[in-house]
Amino acid sequence: MNTHKHISRRSVLGGAALLAGFAAAGLTGCSASGSGGAAQKSGGLTIMSKGGEIKKEVIDAWVAEHPDVPITLIEDDPTRLNAMLAAGTPPDVVRSLGATSTANIASRGLALDLDPYVSKSTVLKDGELAKINDVWRWDGTRQGEGARFGLVKDWSQDAMFWYNTEAFAAAGVPLPTADKPFTYDQLLEYAALMTKRSAGKVDQYGLFTTAPTIEAISSMLATSGARAFNDDLTKVDFTSPEAMRALQWHVDVAKAKVGYTLADPNPDGWDWPPFDAKRIAMAAAGYWFGGAVAGNPKTAEFARLAPAPMMGTERVSPSTSATGHWISAKSNMKDEAFAFLEWYVAGDQAKTRAQSGWGLPAVTSLTSELPQSQPYQAEALAVQKNEEQYLQIMSFSPYAQATAVSAAVANLFPRAVDGSLSTAQFADQATTAVNELLKQGMELAGKKG
């Protein structure tokens, strides 16, 4: 998981823009059959996604089978998406992180209810959809319940991490096992043992990249049976004992200088380059990281997957991304858009992706395609299979993008690290800042803040 991307300046602007989109797009729900407001299309599907995922060969394969439905791919861009939504000309299909975006896009009436389509599908059997797809459900107050507003393409449990067995052995650190995850306190302790410096420079950090994002904090709180948001998702509270403990852990990591943090950002933007180069002993990533490991046989010798660490006593291992796609409620090509999703998440393209190890498939029938020929692949799959029993869907507020919430917390973080703020003051001010964001979002949504 690239934590720093979640709190970049672009993310802040994008998050704020999407929050403002409440007013632009309105909250009127749209029926499954769709209605007015759709832009006239000259033909073909417009898909906003990442060119590295829906590559030219993927588009060519689709067009070969569906010559009457060409695809125009627009690179994933939150700012451009908001502009298209405001103009009433949204893409037909949009890539999003279902874990953090479903409540927002469903509440704003942007996304099509897919239940009528799934119920009629001969390709996507409801019983074969992996449980993770419920992340895309929203009933108006709770995520994981109600109508389905999107489908996962590939997924992982994002609080898990990969580790370098050689670095652990050199430091005398015990290896995590599938049935006995580390605690966050152990991570900090062990990371200190594996952090190496010479000539005033860091040769190896012990820990993966960390940042106090709302996803990271929520994942930690879940293991204590606690939540950051209140029941109706209108307010947040970082002053609870559990939330303050999570914030304190992030501050302690930054002060200990045992991994990349907001105070010492990862120059690569994500953990693969330094992990591959043995500059960090752990990498924050779920099962999907195995796709990257497959690219370097030397790294495959020492890379292993670990279960999600625990702050409390309850094992919870959420997905904070559940990346997938939703269909615009204003699309005038809803049937074609759903046909593309069927083809992409359950057809040959999905089979190929599953075989690559770049994530778990959206349908259980493709689980047998996951790679197991290499020792690291077989061990990772065994850890992953055990971990799935701890998968839990967390609810994020529809009134502010997760990126904006995380940015509000991140803005205060440096002062907590340098001692300008106590952890209690950090928690109190972060609570105030985020609740102001949520209040603005509620007002834009026509609700009393």
Dump the DSSP string for 417-437. HTTSS-HHHHHHHHHHHHHHH
pLDDT at residue 9 in the model:
34
Per-residue pLDDT of the chain (449 residues), as tens digits, is 444 433 333 333 333 434 434 444 433 333 333 333 344 455 799 999 999 999 999 999 999 999 999 999 999 999 999 999 999 999 999 999 999 999 999 999 999 999 999 999 999 987 899 999 999 999 999 999 999 999 999 999 999 999 999 999 999 999 999 999 999 999 999 999 999 999 999 999 999 999 999 999 999 999 999 999 999 999 999 999 999 999 999 999 999 999 999 999 999 999 999 999 999 999 999 999 999 999 999 999 999 999 999 999 999 999 999 999 999 999 999 999 999 999 999 999 999 999 999 999 999 999 999 999 999 999 999 999 999 999 999 999 999 999 999 999 999 999 999 999 999 999 999 999 999 999 999 998 888 76
**Burial of 348 per CB tally in 10 Å (0-12, 13-18, 19+):** exposed
CA distance 390 to 440: 34
Contact residues for 363 (Cβ-Cβ < 8 A; gap 6+): 124, 125, 128, 129, 130, 345, 346, 350
Distances (CA, A) of 7 to 82, 158, 213, 417: 18, 17, 8, 17
Choose among 208, 240, 222, 262: nearest CA to 407: 262
- Say how many C-beta atoms besides its own lie within 10 A of residue 414's C-beta: 14
Tokens 């729900």 label which residue?
Answer: 29
Helices 78-87 and 9-25 pack at an angle, to 10 degrees, of 10
Strands 71-75 and 45-49: parallel
CA distance 44 to 33: 19
Stated as kind and residue range, the H or E segment containing 17 is: helix 9-25
> E strands, 33-134, where?
45-49, 71-75, 93-97
The reported pTM is 0.89
Contact 343, 357 (CB under 8 A): no
Contact 51, 344 (CB under 8 A): no
CA distance 143 to 133: 11
**Burial of 239 per CB tally in 10 Å (0-12, 13-18, 19+):** middle
Stated as kind and residue range, the H or E segment containing 47 is: strand 45-49
Choose among 447, 324, 449, 448: nearest CA to 27: 447
Choose among 132, 390, 159: nearest CA to 287: 159
CA distance 191 to 282: 9
Phi, psi at residue 210, to the nearest 5°? -125, 155
CA distance 349 to 343: 7
